[in-house]
Amino acid sequence: MKLIISDYNRKKITEILKIYREIRKASEVFEKENHVFCPEGCGFCCNSTEVDGTILGALPLAHFLLKISDNKTINSILEKLNDLDERSPCFFFRKDSDIDWKGRCSVYKYRLLVCRLFGFYRRKDKHGKYITGTCRILKNNYHSFDSKNCIAPGIADFSTRFTSIGSDSETKLIPINLAIKNAIEYLQFDMMKEALKRQ
């Protein structure tokens, strides 16, 4: 189903998806060059209660959900998101077993910016030099990984581009489930405005 949203928001979503494709390419290059890969079926980062996102970063996911779901399903998703504690793991994370880190994202193709840079990320050390930080699972799996000489893509590289696409409120970091909920409601409001224009 084609969603009737404003050209302004359609362009924003197109730009975000373009950035997400660039992140995928940069991450793939880093993985291949350094032979560092997230273990298959790993959801260690996704199961965290400290994941933040932005409304802007959640717009492609919100657009996808509104496109494939009827009103009843969307309202059910919004109710469930609303009922979650502020610091719950992402609503779309599906655990595969009793092992904390085993699981998967049920909306992987439309995951948010931070989710695309989990596992390894560029950061500054105490001397202000860039190093690659890794999650606990990768640290345990790759003891010989040289974090000082293998520099991963950085969140800052891509998040600064986000600020040129959206407003301050859209690019402010908030708990991931709230970001997704707000993005859905934002697009619903946009759709309503567009529908009224066409009457």
What 8-state DSSP symbol labels residue 90?
A: P
For 92-113, write each residue's pLDDT tens digit. Answer: 999 887 776 788 899 999 999 8
Position with higher pLDDT, 124 vs 59: 59
What is the reported pLDDT for 35?
78
What is the reported pLDDT for 143?
54
Position with higher pLDDT, 122 vs 8: 8
Tell whether the model's pLDDT for residue 177 goes beyond 90.
Answer: yes
For 32-81, write each residue's pLDDT tens digit. Answer: 877 777 878 888 888 888 899 999 999 999 999 999 999 999 999 999 99
What is the reported pLDDT for 19?
93
Written as one string, the DSSP assignment of 136-157 is HHHHHH-TT--TTTSPPP-HHH
Neighbouring C-beta atoms of residue 51, cutoff 10 Å: 22
Domain residue spans of the chain = 7-114+157-194
What is the reported pLDDT for 146?
58
**What percentage of the chain carries pLDDT values higher than 90?**
47
Tell whether the model's pLDDT for residue 24 goes beyond 70.
Answer: yes
The four Cα atoms 14, 17, 22, 28 give a dihedral, to 10 degrees, of -160
**What percentage of the chain carries pLDDT values higher than 70?**
88
What is the reported pLDDT for 41?
82
Annotate 2-64 with three-state secondary structure: CCCCCHHHHHHHHHHHHHHHHHHHHHHHHHHHHCCCCCCCECCCCCCCCCEECHHHHHHHHHH
Question: What's the whole-number average pLDDT of the chain?
Answer: 86
**Distance (Å, whole) CA 52 – CA 54:** 7
What is the reported pLDDT for 163?
83
Predicted TM-score (pTM) of this structure? 0.87
